[in-house]
Amino acid sequence: MLAGKTILITGGTGTFGKRCTLELLQKHQAAKVIILSRDELKQSEMASDPAFKSDRLRFFIGDVRDKERLARAMTDVDVVIHAAALKQVPAAEYNPHEFIKTNINGAMNVVDAAITTGVRRVVALSTDKAVNPINLYGATKLCSDKVFISANNYSGKKGTRFSVARYGNVIGSRGSVIPLFLKQRETGTLTLTKPEMTRFVITLSHGVNFALSAVGSMIGGEIFIPKIPSCSLQSLAKAIAPKAKIEIIGLRPGEKLHEALVPVDEASQTVELADRFIIHPSQPYWDYKGKSKHRGKRCPEGFSYSSDTNPDQLDIPAIKALVKRYQSNTLD
């Protein structure tokens, strides 16, 4: 359904946005892709990259904090993929007001602008840190998720529909632990918070294509969660630098030992499909037909999808293969 459509990506100069742009232009035959971001340098660098040379690509300088600019950018847009966010956990603790302005107020602005301009579908990216959050970043993303799901109550005859795609850590993205461990390997010492810590992992390509598939299958009001593998930090360290010295530094403020993508409290609204979980909205005051369309296996009471109990755990050979593909730029 993306062929021939005009798609706007907020935060489009980021890791996700750049890969998503290539997918839309090369594989989905989008009529136009609009990048909205606040960094003119990143836009200039992206525009000068031969990979992005296309007369179907447009750049808008703007900020999700600016509702009027968002409305201008969304004029005649069919689909919005909301990837803009402030994401660094320590920075959020020190600058809470700024994270609230971008991640929560920005989400409300995206909703208002999309409804005002008649955008048909909006998918917002979320994170495992939004589940039972213990840090401010996770709390702002939880609020953002709630804003987007509840936005379906307000679109009325405009027909704008909103859903969320939630997944874990993208391999090799900015702030990812794999580049850090590869750099530390040169010193002979790796720093681990806790060896038993586990995290979900997903490739950039998988994350992008999952979000795009959510655009195609959404009714409006769902939280889409991919089935993805997990691994422990100890296994990751052994795969990257088996002979390195390990320095345990302990959990940092706002950091969990394990992450979840489906919490126990939402199991009753969750169905399992072959490649994903879907959390149905708990209070759909609009005419929600998702439960009849997304026919999956209902998750049992007490179910949770957590990185430590995930049956798909990567062993050291599998992690080595992922790291090798990352280093050779063949990770898809």
Rounded alpha-carbon distances, angstroms, from residue 218 to 213, 276, 286 = 8, 13, 14
Given a contact cutoff of 8 angstroms between Cβ atoms, the answer to whether 100 and 140 are in contact is yes
Instruction: Find all residues with CB under 8 Å of 131, minimum gap 6, and list them.
Output: 138, 142, 166, 259, 260, 261, 262, 263
User: Is beta strand 270-272 parallel, antiparallel or unpaired with respect to 297-298?
Assistant: antiparallel
3-state helix, strand and coil shares in percent for the chain, rounded to the nearest 5 = 40, 20, 40
Angle at CA of residue 270, ends 265 and 276, nearest 5°: 125
**Letter string b/e over residues 42-61, b meaning 16 or more CB atoms within 10 A of that residue's CB:** bbeebeeeeebeeeebbbbe
In one letter, which amino acid is 110? V
The DSSP call for residue 197 is -
Report residue 158: phi and psi, to 5°: -60, -35
Separation between Cα atoms, residue 332 and residue 330, nearest integer Å: 6
**Of 5, 67, 87, 129, which is the active-site residue?**
129
Report residue 224: phi and psi, to 5°: -95, 130
18 is catalytic: no
Residue 176: other Cβ atoms inside 10 A = 16
Q: Which residues belong to the active site? A: 129
